[in-house]
Amino acid sequence: MPTFSKGLEDSLHKALSIARSKNHEFSTLEHLLMAIIDDDDASLVFKHCSVDLETLKYELEGYLDNELRHIVLKDSIDVKPTTSFQRVVQRAVIHVQTSGKEEVTSANILVAIFSERESHAVYFLNKVNLSRYDVVNYLSHGKSSNASELDDLEAQEVGEGKQESLTPNIDKYCINLNNKANSGKIDPVIARDNEILRICQTLCRRRKNNPILVGDPGVGKTAIVEGVALNIVNGKVPDFLKKTQIIQLDMGALIAGTRYRGDFEERLKDVLKEIEKIPHAILFIDEIHTIIGSGATSGGAMDAANL
């Protein structure tokens, strides 16, 4: 069972103390967020994600002083955490446990807070341009989606004039089969001309233009798609397909490193958004049966196949 870090224990006590100092009957998520702002682990996340802490504190103070008057009691009371407060702590513990770590920190609490989407705490975090994706991305890779000035300067020092990729997610999680064919890494496909022609015919349709290859393992389904890419590069396809690019989704890379619920879905949606921006792009999902159920919540109907 994971244990709480010393900083998180202090933050939990501080959240109760803040509520007690304001004579609040309950300690809410907003009290908890106010408490973890000064914790070292959460502060590091805020710093790297370029969060304006003064604005965040101001918003929280105003909310606690003006919007929670209905839970103010005159007598000294034993402050109790709200249900959402308890849910967030439990969720953070489960996340840490499933990721194989042994200590729960305020950074894990910060991730868990974003699950309470209807709370004012999440509203204030979004208001200072902090998203769950930013926090998870930093915890997983040490990076945030908000580029800091330091990162920009370092990028300029590494090489001026080198433009950042417009499709970072495709570069990370996909393989461009056209480029692979151009570099001579795809061998000619023998005795599969009929299958390749049939795929090209299906792709040229106006409607129902999504071919799916079905067959036993090892019969050459992936090789057929590579053969289509090779024909595109060599110009041996109908005019409609000559400008197309076949982009293969690497499911292993897409799933690797996903720790929190929602990471997989966010990666897949980011890839799909980038592919939509590429003219004449064709997405090839190898081993497509593996995505049925991928990312699905227990009892939920949504999975990667539906996305």
Q: Are 19 and 79 in contact (CB under 8 A)?
A: yes
Domain boundaries, the chain: 3-147, 168-291
Using one digit for the tens of pLDDT, what is the confidence trace for 287-303? Answer: 777 666 555 555 554 55
Q: Are 48 and 138 in contact (CB under 8 A)?
A: yes
Pick the CATH number of 3-147 from 1.10.1780.10, 2.80.10.50, 3.40.190.10, 3.90.440.10: 1.10.1780.10
pLDDT at 152: 46
Q: Can you state the percent helix, strand and coil of the chain, rounding each to 5?
A: 55, 5, 40
Using one digit for the tens of pLDDT, what is the confidence trace for 89-145? Answer: 999 998 888 877 889 999 999 999 998 988 999 999 999 988 888 888 888 765 555
- The helix/strand/coil state of 307 is coil
Dist CA 287 CA 304 (whole Å): 13
Provide the token pair at 221: 């389904």
pLDDT at 261: 65
Dist CA 63 CA 136 (whole Å): 26
pTM above 0.75, yes or no: no
Percent of the chain beyond pLDDT 70? 84
Considering the domain 168-291 in this protein, what is its CATH number?
3.40.50.300
- The angle subtended at Cα 42 by Cα 38 and Cα 46, nearest 5°, is 95
Using one digit for the tens of pLDDT, what is the confidence trace for 149-177? Answer: 334 434 444 444 445 567 888 888 899 99
Q: Which residues pair with 284 in a beta bridge?
A: 248
- Interstrand relation of 174-176 and 245-249 (parallel, antiparallel or unpaired): antiparallel
Dist CA 138 CA 143 (whole Å): 4
Q: Which residue has the tokens 């002083």?
A: 65
Using one digit for the tens of pLDDT, what is the confidence trace for 33-87? Answer: 999 998 988 998 898 888 899 999 999 999 988 888 777 777 657 888 999 999 9
Q: Are 202 and 209 in contact (CB under 8 A)?
A: yes
Dist CA 203 CA 258 (whole Å): 33
Dist CA 295 CA 262 (whole Å): 7
